[in-house]
Chain A
Amino acid sequence: MSGPETSCAPRGAGDFCLSCLLTGGALVGAVIASFAYLQIDFGALFSREAAAGMGEFVASFFPPASAPPFLAKTALGALQTFAVAAVGTLLAALLGVLCALPAAGRAGGALRQVARFALNVLRSVPELVWATLMVLAAGLGPFAGALALALHTTGVLGRLFAEAIENAPPAAETALREAGAGSALAFLYGTLPLVWPQFIAYGLYRLEMNIRMAAVLGFVGAGGLGQMLYFHLSIFQQAEAATVLFAMLLLVLAVDALSHLLRGRLAN
């Protein structure tokens, strides 16, 4: 096959626009600048001692701790993490529906902006930051984690629910209003049945995200598997940490499967 200079070569990676080239150059420059700024000593990082240290560290995870009392504790931790995620998501769904109504404009234009702003603030603050705040308000433990998830997820779900409500065809609700129904009942009979499957789908999707977050919130004291992992790593008990990590993986897979099952049955 002839080289790429011949005219029958297809238009390929050689045809760059100038701005693409400049942007690409700027990006490469940014990457190099980042590494320089961080001053990561790659020499030390990939040196023989570091590699050996890393190897020892990884080896210390195996075999994972498997004493029955510890397995029982891990199982309880997993259940607690699931409880945090479930309670947080459920609370967020309820609050989300409440906030979605004004955010969809059902209470006037001014309130719509206020509701949307509030939901944006809730959404923008990461769950971990909420968790550190909730630890102050509710003390260490899983309740703080559930509250943190609830606050952040209300922002996410509230906005998704509001968009679903705004996109729903209004004919059913309008017809009920024209037959004299009050606005709340017209919404419940006319629009809610239309958006209900979407609400379920969004809620279950967030549950899948939240189970991962719930595991991690334990790092700041919100109980469950996260707190166990943090604890055992701080006292250099890698074998126990390995068991906890494994439990985290299993829990995430199980919740993903549960979410798929429920989505099929509830939203059909």
Chain B
Amino acid sequence: MSTVAALPGGAARDPEARRRLGAALLALVVLWPLLQLAEFRPAVLFEVGNLRVMGGFLASFMPPAHAPEFLGLLLTATLETLAIATAGIALALFIAAPLAICATRALSVSRIGPGPGRWRGQALRGVVRGLLTILRAIPEIVWALMFVRVLGLGPAAGVLALAITYGGMLGKVYTEILESTDTRPARTLLEAGSGRLAALAYGLVPNAAQELTSYTVYRWECAVRASVIMGFVGAGGLGQLMDQSMKMLNGGEASTILLVFLLLVLLADAISGALRRALA
């Protein structure tokens, strides 16, 4: 231990300083054009014209619209949204289940050993997983927009869009769940020569059932929200109603619909929780 307070001849400057300065400059150089591209001009928010429109719209939020015909419309739209979400998830299940069975390694007969057809099996699984990724890659609202162009306005576009994207999502997660549970019962059955479906039903499903249903119910909750969003491009339900109200700058209707939407989300959350407990 030094008794003389001699300073070692080390740097009297922070060695990190140069790196930090460089990083800060880089960030600024990248940030400036981004701000320009995004047309970032906070002053615009306070322009008189915009303030008037926004202020008027917000002022019309109160009182929320409560005319009986409108409330009737609201009820049908809400039921339609719920129906779109449920039908969409049901179709998605239809697509996801067989794909997941194909794609999961837990049900692969060729992996036991490994036996004949190993490369073919792996290739097939790769292709199916790729298909699931492609289905997931495009947001459902983009599918909805395209389906609206082909099928016209209405809930069909939303149901099909959900079926495709959520089919991909459910498929991927089902595959992972089936692989992450205890696969020994299924493997034992496959080794004893049972068919894949039997191995699935008796070996995998009993262990994985809770996780599978839990995720599916969670996805249904997301589907309710997505159905509202897709309505903005014409796929029916609450979203379409809200889009119309906002285009007419009808703040009262918009605020009512927003309230109903928030309540719907809470309701979906409650139903989802109850279902998960019931199926546990």
Task: List A residues at the B interface (Cβ < 8 Å).
Answer: 1, 4, 9-13, 15, 19-20, 23, 27, 30-31, 33-35, 37-38, 40, 45, 53-54, 57, 79-80, 82-84, 86-88, 90, 124-126, 128-129, 132-133, 136-139, 141-143, 145-146, 212, 215-216, 219-220, 223, 229-230, 233, 236, 245, 248-249, 252
Chain B's nearest CB lies how many Å from the CB of A179? 23
25 A–B pairs (Cβ distance < 8 Å), ordered by A: A1-B193, A1-B194, A12-B202, A23-B279, A31-B87, A33-B83, A35-B83, A40-B159, A84-B38, A86-B34, A87-B35, A124-B265, A125-B262, A126-B225, A129-B242, A132-B243, A133-B54, A133-B246, A136-B50, A139-B44, A143-B39, A146-B40, A212-B139, A233-B146, A236-B149
Q: Number of contacts between A and B (CB, 8 Å)?
A: 154
| A-chain residues with CB within 8 Å of residue B205 when the two chains form the complex | 12-13
| A-chain residues with CB within 8 Å of residue B159 when the two chains form the complex | 38, 40
B229 touches A38 (CB 8 A): no
B87 touches A142 (CB 8 A): no
Closest to A42 in B: B156
Does B106 belong to the interface (CB within 8 Å)?
no
Q: How far is the CA of A135 from the CA of B201 in the complex (A)?
A: 52
Known: A57-B150, A87-B35, A126-B228. 6 other contacts (CB 8 A): A10-B189, A20-B279, A79-B37, A82-B37, A83-B36, A84-B38
A143 touches B44 (CB 8 A): yes
A233 touches B149 (CB 8 A): yes
Among A132, A142, A212, A233, the residue within 8 A (CB) of B38 is A142
Task: List B residues at the A interface (Cβ < 8 Å).
Answer: 31, 33-41, 44-45, 50, 53-54, 57, 79-80, 82-84, 86-87, 90, 137-139, 141-142, 145-146, 149-151, 155-156, 159, 185, 189, 192-194, 201-203, 205-206, 225, 228-229, 232-233, 242-243, 246, 249, 258, 261-262, 265, 275, 278-279
